[in-house]
Amino acid sequence: MRKPRSLTPLFFLLPALVLMVPFVIYPVLKTIYFSFFLNGKFVGLDNYRHVLLSSDIINLERFPTKSPPWGSLINNIIFIAIHLPSTIFLGLGLALLLRKEEVKGSSLIKSIVFLGMVIPMIVGGLITRFLFEQGAGVIPSVLGALGIKSLDITWTAFPQTALFAVILGSIWIWTGFSMLMYSAGLASIPKDYYEAALIDGANKFQIFKNVTWPLLKPITIVVVAMTLLWDLKIFDIVYVATGGGPGGASMVLALQMWDYFARELNYNYAAVVAVLLTTLTLIPAMWLIRRRE
């Protein structure tokens, strides 16, 4: 009885495993392998040393005192530091505001926010680029009209603003995800808890702090992990909106890998970045899987 039982699941997984070996596992191993070679020669950790110490990845000469480029790893970290709290805050805020059906235009606002999730990322990148274009985009015009002339510029063309244009664009694109998750989370909290808290004497803020927020914790875990993954892997929007420029000011790891690979034709450095990026994404991924179990 025991043997067939333990082998059966494996049998059903076989087709998937057969596909995974050549298309996933082999390339991963091969990439790791490549990362230890340069021009066909085994160089140990030299590639890692070179990439990690290069100003492409971490530019400590310019960060944080001088203007960008600051290096793609730092850019990714800045990206996360702004994008993660913003999307959580906005998504949760919108979900809370639009919770009741009676709110006028709630489904319209939800649709607009969610549009960011639906459109292809390439289009999102293009929209971002136009949003921040001097003379054409809304944001420079509005800021200009408010008298902030220094920001009435084409954001993607200047090193000081390029990264922030991409981050702000990404906030719109990704807020729909957290809004959707939190909307579903809020809908799943029985109204009895709120009413019990009301009777126990809680005000709106206390209800949020003591009831809503703790009960949304499983949702928050998913949103944080998924956003971290998305932020670390960010590529298309940057590629289309700024191409990582100007002068690498908005370069991120995934695009850096592409740059090493396609422009500098250095597969080995590209492989190093790939391994680093994968390691970084594994952290939130493993955390998420652990928490879900």
Query: Which of 127, 211 has the CB closer to other proteins?
Result: 211
242: helix, coil or strand? coil
Answer yes or no: are the C-beta atoms of 89 and 220 closer than 8 Å: no
Position 208 contacts other proteins (CB under 8 A): no
Query: Which of 44, 214 has the CB closer to other proteins?
Result: 214
Q: Within 13 A of 2's CA, how many CA atoms are on the CB side?
A: 0
Query: Which of 61, 195 has the CB closer to other proteins?
Result: 195
**Dihedral angle computed from the Cα positions of residues 37, 38, 42 and 44, in that order, rounded to the nearest 10 degrees:** -70
Position 190 contacts other proteins (CB under 8 A): yes
Neighbours of 169 (CB within 10 A): 28
Give the binding range for other proteins (CB under 8 A) out of 97-105, 121-129, 147-155, 199-207.
199-207
Of residues 212-231, which lie at the interface with other proteins (CB under 8 A)?
Answer: 214-215, 217
Position 4 contacts other proteins (CB under 8 A): no
Q: Within 13 A of 49's CA, how many CA atoms are on the CB side?
A: 6
Nearest distance from C-beta of residue 246 to other proteins, angstroms? 49
List residues bridging with 42 in a β-sheet: 37
Nearest distance from C-beta of residue 3 to other proteins, angstroms? 38
Position 291 contacts other proteins (CB under 8 A): no
Position 199 contacts other proteins (CB under 8 A): yes
Position 264 contacts other proteins (CB under 8 A): no
Chosen residue from 108, 196, 282, 289 binding other proteins by CB under 8 A:
196
E strand residue ranges, 202-276: none
Query: Which of 16, 199 has the CB closer to other proteins?
Result: 199
110: helix, coil or strand? helix
Residues contacting residue 117 through CB under 8 Å, at least 6 positions apart: 173, 174, 176, 177, 180
Answer yes or no: are the C-beta atoms of 47 and 38 closer than 8 Å: yes
Position 292 contacts other proteins (CB under 8 A): no
Binding site for other proteins (CB under 8 A): 190, 192-193, 195-203, 206, 210-211, 214-215, 217
